[in-house]
């Protein structure tokens, strides 16, 4: 009798997600209540050492009743213990011990984000395991279940020896990441500041050419989350713990944000790699740093391998000619023989399908499909048509009937998973497969059909990407009995397609692998011979019966041999992990087909099962034995169940792939095969693709077990992973290829990929093909060991090639889980994949965080993971993200859907709760920094002169030539003349927000108002000629009238924008400063009454479809000028013209103008000139101050619209900002202007006056040294065109690129903020605005988030990626803020310096601040 321990059942319920953590604690407390007085003070001692996390047993809370054999403490995520390997855990802990405990700047997160993350984390538990293959990662145990290679006397020479120094990754690498390496110390031991503690941090990572560089922290690291201050939004927050620090420039800073940046700076002080060899860098090309191979890297030394043949396929006299013939034989001669037993969720048999029933029910379905389904009197299906099989994982009987019914009808079944929602991970790709296969009919059960999502009509919805399907229920009442004279055609095997099995590729696409009738039969034949199957044997199948080994053993080969299959549903395994062992015992099963996951789960609940015997088993087939980490589950399982009759030689790992089907399997012991093998390999050697035997004392090792011998009748070889399929050497890792009659034949509808995978011809080093038979690539990475045993070390799907070295995703997951997984990772759910950034793969690690994990603990764990992966694998992690529990997309059986996770990461839809980016560590292929060469003066001069203006000089005053009136001396004379000559001519019209006229001013009205202002200034203000008057008005007629009034009175008007009523704290000081600088020091002030702050003059941009614009005609508009002191906004101008085109606005009317503080009118796009031209510049050349024109759409192209025609009397020249020499056409330089209407200087100068005088009066250093120029402070270039204006003059275009003050000097190159900001805004739909600036050589990117705060952390990786890809820059800090935080002035220009000051003073109230390490 089987006794159930209530604590085990309770723990399992929590583990599989049937109850919540809170419910678990409550029920556990009730169970413990009677025993509490008896066991207080006692300590648990009986803990299985192979399943225990070191130093993590919390004795105070993990108590059990006395007498219970299950003393092992259970925690919510103990399922991740299946990754346990004492050897690997010790290696990880030893690696971490080498690092000094150091502090890192922790990300800042707004409290609302913290609360939101914790709420999201408390989601209902799921039914998940750890990877896409339902938890395929296992970690090797210390227990040796088999003799290692060293025990074989016939081991090859290369396999016997241990290569000294095989783990060396680079000649230039530091020894600090290996045992015995000299530890680094902080440069200033006397300083107690966090900055000094962090010094030299980046010197600890070993990355090819890069010295060691990994984040570290101490257990007492500063907790830097945002304090909870009861303050209103918008007001600056005060912090109680600030530290006085100095910047790199020696400026004292009292700010927590700046102290964090200082910490980050100190991590970057040391050079990240030794000096690069010199190589030519063209002015127009930025060459990425080529990673040169390490001269000391291990290289393969063995001889070229020879193809390995399996034993011949035996000849059986009574072997059926096809699988259908076998079914007919058993269905008619042995009708009562059991074929398949299905179990319910309680483990009770619900139905046993006999061979007679399988034969008759399959016939019924076959007849119904061919004869009873029709459209317009035409049969719906014809032989060869594809049919989808949509059956749940707990109904193998209906699936088996449907599968064989299709085969009997000569239809092609395509088994797929049941779609539960319209947004299932990967469901769209499955739909594409069905569409490409031409599937129009889906078979399912009645219960499954009722559970599918329905449309309002009651029909099953059409899932996203799926073709329109007709759903047919295969239950008994829907099929008809065929006539007695009807018999299904039983033909011999052929190369026609028998069925299609789906597979998801590394990129996420779903492909259909076609299997022919002959291949299906040959595979059954080979499996029968390799496994020694006999008639009537009982086999227990835990795997998915729709694909892979579950289909091959439990549905196909079983029928071939009249075997009885006990099918264990996945839902039963979640409730009772021991169920498969109990069924082996109950039915005396001879064979069991499991995954290492199932072996691990059974270990958790085996203590109470006293009367279980596994002595009947002759084969325990481990279907995922090709996974290197499955060895730990095999060893631990054998260690526990050997006392229950399990023999060591019974465990038979196998290797298989969807394309090649079964590749190799360890034979049962009665076949006289050599003993199993085990190898301890150097991970460093494996990363270079070579095999080096290592000792178990080394840190970086991988222990693998063999997967047996090659399948009968197959020919196997190992070829190079990339390029020409050359045979590998004996000590080289490559992709295993197989030539056999039992492999798949193609990817359905993909002839190109089929040729590459299914028709590979391996060649020798001389180029000669090894065989005239085509080989199939298996996507398994491995080698052939001694005794012709096959070893697998990874899969192509998990292969990540970083800087030329190979890393396996499973190995990285195993290392991450060895860093205290019990405390942080939710049920061991970790996804590892690579993304391509800047022409190399970058490793991304995403883990589900336990709901009770704190911010600081999570950050510490993330930092330790980075250290462990760097030390064990010698590779840097680009991004490490933690997401709330149960939020990663799931595969059909509950594992993590890796490709969907990667897609969400790249789209910014992952919604992590913690992110750590480490681009400084990983990105070592940035272009070489620009070295400015001395002597950059150019002799080629380009000067453009506008029309000549006849200037009349009288008393040193400039006269304006007016063609229609007398000569005037001053502007106010013009108004007085107009008031007399055209008094009623309307000059200005002011509209309010409703579009109605609020105020008007004719010539005489403006003149009279100006006179009244002048009288008030002189009489009431008692001002004298030359006094300054502040005009604090919003734009409007009052401002214009007062301006002329000042001119009438002889005063100097100073226009000042009024402070904003909603933002007085930031705008009022600006007004105060202007008033103080221009007025108080020199003159008495005249206080004019301020208008109301709620100005009625607003600018409104409406779409033409607006009701109020129906009758508006804009054809009368001749010129609409866009005024901005920056690069013309191409997109804005085009959009404006397009929107109002329907209202008659001419596209030529909208134009740009350029002016600045030294000259307000430099150029203007008038109607007399040609259309403004747009050129496309190479942004890479622009960073070197070079102008290189490219075609539209070219990579790295930047569209730039000319700023207009140079005005009459204006001369423009492009000058070098440093040498002050003139520049040629192909150079970017500062725009200098010479004109009669140049400004003459600043009224008040603070600091060195000579520097500011240079702005208004400067001369070229050579060439025309006589002309006096004003420096605009803007970078641009001139371009001579062949276009002419209305007068026939040639048109010379001026292009403004950006402000010189705001350019960013990074890595010796000049960047314009607007270019980086444009890239960032384009990277995610929720980024409303962006601004960038630098602080002590760090690039800081501030983005406004227009969306949910939970998207804030998604932006960190996307921003870092796009700036790296498009600008070759590493972002130092990413700040996510609310909309409207980035200050913008009245002209719509970003005030980046104000933003920088606010950030350093910690006044932005950011949602999230990420410090990229």
d(Cα 1096, Cα 1086) in Å, to the nearest integer? Answer: 25
The pLDDT score that the predictor gives to residue 748 is 95
Out of 204-213, 414-423, 552-561, 620-629, give the one with best mean pLDDT. 552-561
Name which residue leads in pLDDT, 525 or 1140.
Answer: 525
- Residue pLDDT, tens place only, 269-322: 444 443 333 333 333 344 566 667 778 888 999 899 999 999 998 877 777 889
pLDDT above 50: residue 15: yes
Query: What backbone torsions phi and psi does residue 8 show, to the nearest 5 degrees?
Result: -65, -45
**Burial (CB count <10 Å: 0-12, 13-18, 19+), residue 430:** buried
Query: What backbone torsions phi and psi does residue 351 show, to the nearest 5 degrees?
Result: -165, 140
The pLDDT score that the predictor gives to residue 854 is 83
The pLDDT score that the predictor gives to residue 1146 is 82
d(Cα 188, Cα 243) in Å, to the nearest integer? Answer: 18
pLDDT above 80: residue 936: no
Mean pLDDT of 114-142: 43
Q: Are 783 and 717 in contact (CB under 8 A)?
A: no
The pLDDT score that the predictor gives to residue 1202 is 85
pLDDT above 70: residue 1166: no
Q: Which of 346-350, 1115-1119, 1296-1300 has the lowest mean pLDDT?
A: 1115-1119
- Cβ neighbours for 885, distance < 8 A, ≥ 6 positions apart: 121, 122, 123, 125, 826, 827, 848, 849, 850, 851
- Residue pLDDT, tens place only, 758-776: 999 999 999 999 998 999 9
The pLDDT score that the predictor gives to residue 1257 is 87
The pLDDT score that the predictor gives to residue 1196 is 85
Rg, the chain, Cα only: 39
Name which residue leads in pLDDT, 979 or 8.
Answer: 979
Other C-beta atoms lying within 10 Å of the C-beta of residue 966? 9
Mean pLDDT of 726-743: 95
Q: Sorting pLDDT into bands at 50, 70 and 90, what band is 1172?
A: confident
DSSP, residue by residue, 713-764 = T-EEEEE-SSSS-BBPBTTB-EEEEEE-TTS--EETT-HHHHHHHHSB--B-
Q: Sorting pLDDT into bands at 50, 70 and 90, what band is 1237?
A: confident
Residue keyed to tokens 């990626």: 1361
Residue keyed to tokens 């096959």: 790
pLDDT above 90: residue 1389: no
Closest CA to 104 of 208, 206, 199: 199
Query: What backbone torsions phi and psi does residue 1349 show, to the nearest 5 degrees?
Result: -65, -20
d(Cα 720, Cα 689) in Å, to the nearest integer? Answer: 10
pLDDT above 50: residue 64: no
pLDDT above 80: residue 21: no
Percent of the residues in the chain that have a pLDDT greater than 90, as a whole number: 35
Closest CA to 234 of 1384, 1380, 1399, 1405: 1405
- Cβ neighbours for 1059, distance < 8 A, ≥ 6 positions apart: 1067, 1068, 1070, 1071
Name which residue leads in pLDDT, 1347 or 1121.
Answer: 1347
Percent of the residues in the chain that have a pLDDT greater than 70, as a whole number: 72
Q: Sorting pLDDT into bands at 50, 70 and 90, what band is 714?
A: very high
- Cβ neighbours for 97, distance < 8 A, ≥ 6 positions apart: none
pLDDT above 60: residue 165: no
Q: Where are the alpha helices (DSSP H) in 1029-1119?
A: 1037-1049, 1064-1075
Q: Sorting pLDDT into bands at 50, 70 and 90, what band is 10?
A: low
Mean pLDDT of 843-849: 94
Mean pLDDT of 598-617: 81
d(Cα 63, Cα 42) in Å, to the nearest integer? Answer: 9
Mean pLDDT of 59-74: 37
Supply the mean pLDDT for the chain.
77
Q: Sorting pLDDT into bands at 50, 70 and 90, what band is 1204?
A: confident
Q: Are 75 and 189 in contact (CB under 8 A)?
A: no
Q: Are 380 and 360 in contact (CB under 8 A)?
A: no
Q: Sorting pLDDT into bands at 50, 70 and 90, what band is 266?
A: low
Residue keyed to tokens 């399948």: 711
DSSP, residue by residue, 1220-1278 = --B--TTB-EEEEEE-TT-----SS--S-HHHHHHHHSB--SSSS-SS-BEEEEEEEEE
pLDDT above 70: residue 841: yes
Q: Which of 85-94, 344-353, 1312-1321 has the lowest mean pLDDT?
A: 85-94
Closest CA to 81 of 5, 135, 22: 135
- As a 3-state breakdown, the chain gives helix, strand, coil percent values, each rounded to 5, of 30, 20, 50
Pairing outcome for strands 538-541 and 564-567: parallel
Q: Are 1316 and 1369 in contact (CB under 8 A)?
A: yes
pLDDT above 90: residue 894: no
- Residue pLDDT, tens place only, 1074-1116: 666 655 333 333 333 333 332 222 233 334 445 556 677 888 8
Q: Sorting pLDDT into bands at 50, 70 and 90, what band is 22?
A: low
The pLDDT score that the predictor gives to residue 955 is 28
Cα distances from 754 to residues 749, 758, 759, 772, in angstroms, run: 9, 5, 7, 17
d(Cα 396, Cα 380) in Å, to the nearest integer? Answer: 26
Q: Sorting pLDDT into bands at 50, 70 and 90, what band is 215?
A: very low
The pLDDT score that the predictor gives to residue 491 is 83
Paired strand residues for 760: 775
- Residue pLDDT, tens place only, 659-688: 999 999 999 877 777 778 888 898 889 999
d(Cα 628, Cα 1380) in Å, to the nearest integer? Answer: 53
Closest CA to 801 of 849, 848, 839: 839
The pLDDT score that the predictor gives to residue 1089 is 35
Q: Sorting pLDDT into bands at 50, 70 and 90, what band is 514?
A: very high
pLDDT above 90: residue 409: yes
- Residue pLDDT, tens place only, 944-994: 333 222 222 222 222 333 334 456 777 888 888 888 889 888 888 888 877
Closest CA to 194 of 262, 139, 129, 127: 262
d(Cα 77, Cα 817) in Å, to the nearest integer? Answer: 12
CA dihedral 1344, 1347, 1350, 1352 (to 10 degrees): -20
Closest CA to 790 of 653, 630, 696, 689: 653
The pLDDT score that the predictor gives to residue 503 is 92
């Amino acid at each position: 009798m089987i006794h159930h321990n209530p604590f085990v059942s309770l723990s399992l319920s929590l583990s599989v997600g049937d109850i919540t953590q809170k419910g678990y604690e409550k029920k556990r407390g009730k169970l413990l209540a009677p025993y509490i007085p008896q066991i207080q003070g006692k300590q648990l001692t009986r803990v299985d050492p192979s399943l225990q996390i070191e130093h993590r047993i919390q004795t105070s809370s993990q108590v059990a009743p006395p007498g219970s054999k299950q003393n092992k403490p259970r925690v919510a995520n103990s399922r991740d213990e299946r990754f346990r390997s004492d050897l690997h855990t010790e290696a990880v802990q030893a690696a971490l011990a080498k690092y000094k405990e150091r502090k890192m700047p922790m990300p800042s997160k707004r409290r609302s984000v913290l609360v939101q993350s914790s709420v999201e984390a408390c989601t209902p538990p799921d039914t998940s395991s750890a990877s896409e293959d339902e938890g395929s990662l296992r970690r090797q145990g210390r227990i040796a279940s088999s003799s290692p290679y060293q025990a074989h006397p016939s081991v090859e020479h290369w396999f016997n020896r241990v290569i000294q120094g095989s783990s060396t990754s680079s000649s230039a690498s530091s020894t600090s990441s290996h045992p015995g390496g000299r530890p680094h110390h902080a440069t200033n031991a006397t300083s107690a500041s966090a900055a000094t503690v962090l010094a030299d941090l980046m010197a600890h990572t070993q990355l090819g050419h890069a010295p060691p560089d990994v984040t570290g922290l101490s257990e007492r690291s500063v907790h830097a989350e945002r304090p909870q201050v009861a303050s209103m939004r918008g007001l600056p927050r005060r912090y109680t713990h600030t530290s006085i620090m100095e910047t790199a420039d020696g400026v004292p800073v009292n700010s927590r944000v700046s102290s964090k940046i200082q910490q980050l700076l100190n991590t970057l002080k040391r050079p990240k790699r030794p000096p690069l060899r010199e190589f030519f860098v063209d002015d127009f090309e930025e060459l990425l740093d080529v990673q040169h191979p390490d001269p000391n890297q291990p290289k393969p030394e063995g001889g070229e391998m020879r193809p390995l043949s399996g034993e011949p396929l035996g000849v059986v006299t009574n072997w059926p000619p096809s699988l259908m013939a076998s079914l007919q034989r058993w269905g008619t001669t042995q009708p009562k023989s059991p074929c398949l037993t299905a179990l319910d969720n309680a483990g009770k048999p619900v139905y046993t399908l006999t061979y007679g029933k399988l034969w008759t029910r399959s016939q019924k379905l076959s007849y119904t499909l061919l004869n009873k389904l029709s459209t317009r009197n035409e049969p719906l299906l014809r032989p060869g048509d594809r049919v989808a099989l949509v059956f749940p994982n707990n109904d193998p009987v209906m699936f088996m009937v449907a599968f064989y019914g299709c085969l009997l009808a000569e239809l092609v079944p395509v088994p797929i998973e049941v779609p539960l929602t319209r947004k299932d991970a990967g469901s769209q790709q499955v739909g594409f497969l069905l569409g490409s296969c031409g599937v129009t009919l889906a078979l399912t059960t009645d219960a499954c059909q009722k559970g599918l999502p329905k449309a309002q009509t009651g029909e099953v919805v059409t899932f996203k990407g799926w073709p329109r399907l007709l759903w047919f229920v295969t239950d008994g009442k829907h099929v008809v009995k065929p006539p007695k004279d009807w018999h299904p055609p039983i033909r011999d095997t052929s190369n026609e397609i028998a069925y299609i099995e789906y597979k998801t590729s590394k990129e996420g696409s779903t492909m259909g692998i076609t299997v022919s009738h002959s291949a299906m039969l040959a595979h059954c034949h080979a499996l029968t011979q390799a496994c020694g199957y006999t008639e009537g044997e009982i086999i227990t199948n835990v795997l998915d019966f729709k694909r892979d080994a579950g289909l091959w053993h439990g549905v196909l080969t079983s029928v071939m041999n009249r075997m009885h299959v006990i099918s264990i549903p996945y839902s039963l395994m979640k409730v009772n992990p021991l169920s498969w062992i109990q069924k082996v015992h109950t039915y005396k099963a001879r064979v069991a087909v499991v995954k290492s996951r199932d072996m691990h789960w059974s270990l958790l609940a085996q203590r109470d099962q006293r009367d279980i015997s596994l002595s009947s088993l002759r084969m325990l087939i481990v279907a995922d034995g090709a996974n290197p980490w499955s060895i730990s589950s095999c060893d631990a399982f054998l260690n526990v169940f050997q006392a229950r009759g399990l023999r060591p030689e019974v465990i038979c790992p196998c290797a298989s792939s969807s394309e090649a089907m079964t590749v190799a399997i360890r034979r049962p012991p009665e076949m006289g095969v050599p003993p199993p093998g085990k190898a301890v390999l150097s991970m460093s050697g494996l990363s270079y693709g070579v095999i080096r035997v290592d000792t178990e004392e080394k840190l970086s090792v991988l222990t693998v077990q063999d997967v047996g011998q090659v399948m009968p009748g197959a020919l196997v070889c190992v070829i190079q992973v990339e390029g020409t399929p050359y045979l590998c050497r004996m000590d080289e890792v490559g992709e295993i290829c197989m030539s056999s009659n039992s492999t798949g034949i193609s990817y359905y509808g993909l002839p190109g990929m089929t040729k590459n995978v299914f028709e590979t011809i391996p060649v020798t080093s001389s180029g000669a093909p090894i065989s005239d038979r085509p080989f199939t690539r298996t996507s398994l990475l491995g080698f052939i060991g001694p005794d012709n045993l096959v070893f697998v070390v990874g899969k192509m799907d998990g292969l990540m090639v970083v800087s030329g070295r190979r890393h396996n995703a499973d190995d990285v997951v195993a290392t991450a889980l060895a860093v205290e997984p019990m405390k942080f990772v939710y049920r061991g759910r970790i996804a590892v994949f690579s993304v391509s950034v800047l022409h190399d793969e970058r490793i991304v690690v995403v883990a589900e965080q336990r709901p009770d994990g704190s911010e600081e603990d999570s950050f510490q764990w993330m930092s330790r993971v980075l250290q462990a992966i760097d030390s064990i694998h010698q590779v840097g992690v680009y991004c490490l993200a933690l997401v709330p529990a149960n939020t990663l997309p799931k595969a059909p059986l509950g594992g993590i859907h890796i490709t969907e996770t990667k897609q969400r990461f790249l789209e910014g839809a992952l919604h992590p709760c913690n992110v750590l980016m480490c681009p400084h560590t990983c990105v070592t292929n940035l272009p070489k920094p620009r070295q400015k060469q001395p002597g950059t003066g150019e002799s080629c001069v380009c000067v453009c002169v506008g029309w000549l203006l006849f200037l009349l000089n009288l008393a040193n005053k400039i006269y304006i030539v007016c063609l229609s009136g007398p000569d005037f001396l001053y502007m106010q004379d013009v108004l007085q003349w107009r008031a007399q000559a055209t008094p009623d001519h309307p000059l200005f019209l002011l509209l309010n927000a409703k579009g109605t006229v609020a105020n008007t001013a004719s010539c005489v009205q403006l003149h009279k108002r100006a006179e009244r202002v002048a009288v008030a200034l002189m009489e009431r203000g008692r001002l004298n000629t030359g006094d300054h008057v502040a005009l604090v008005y919003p734009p409007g007629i009052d401002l214009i009238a007062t301006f002329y009034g000042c001119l009438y009175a002889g005063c100097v008007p100073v226009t000042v924008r009024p402070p904003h009523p909603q933002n007085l704290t930031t705008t009022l000081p600006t007004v105060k400063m202007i008033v103080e600088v221009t007025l108080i020091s020199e003159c008495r002030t005249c206080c004019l009454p301020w208008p109301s702050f709620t100005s009625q003059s607003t600018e409104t941009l409406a779409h033409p479809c607006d009701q109020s614009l129906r009758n508006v005609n804009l054809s009368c508009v001749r010129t609409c000028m866009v005024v901005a002191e920056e690069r013309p906004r191409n997109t804005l101008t085009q959009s404006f013209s397009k929107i109002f085109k329907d209202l008659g606005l001419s596209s030529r009317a909208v134009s740009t103008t350029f002016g600045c503080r030294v000259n307000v009118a430099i150029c203007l796009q008038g109607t007399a000139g040609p259309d403004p031209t747009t050129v496309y510049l190479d942004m890479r050349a622009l960073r070197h101050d070079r102008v290189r024109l490219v075609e539209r759409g070219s990579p790295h192209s930047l569209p730039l619209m000319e700023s207009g025609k140079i005005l009459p009397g204006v001369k423009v020249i492009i000058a070098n900002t440093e040498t002050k020499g003139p520049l040629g056409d192909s150079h970017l330089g500062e725009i200098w202007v010479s004109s009669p209407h140049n400004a003459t200087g600043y009224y008040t100068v603070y600091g060195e006056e000579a520097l500011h005088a240079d702005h208004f009066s400067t001369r070229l250093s050579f060439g025309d040294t006589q002309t006096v120029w004003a420096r605009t402070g803007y970078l641009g270039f001139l371009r001579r065109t062949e276009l002419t204006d209305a007068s026939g003059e040639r048109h010379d275009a001026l292009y403004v690129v950006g402000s010189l003050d705001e350019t960013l000097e990074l890595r010796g190159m000049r960047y314009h903020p607007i270019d980086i900001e444009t890239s960032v805004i384009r990277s995610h739909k929720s980024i409303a605005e962006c601004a960038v600036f630098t602080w002590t050589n760090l690039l800081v990117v501030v983005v406004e988030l227009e969306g949910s705060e939970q998207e804030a952390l998604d932006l960190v990786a996307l921003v870092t990626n796009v700036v790296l890809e498009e600008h070759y820059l590493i972002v130092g800090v990413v700040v996510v803020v609310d909309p409207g935080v980035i200050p913008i002035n009245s002209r719509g220009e970003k005030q980046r310096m104000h933003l920088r000051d606010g950030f350093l003073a910690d006044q932005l109230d950011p949602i999230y601040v990420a410090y990229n390490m």
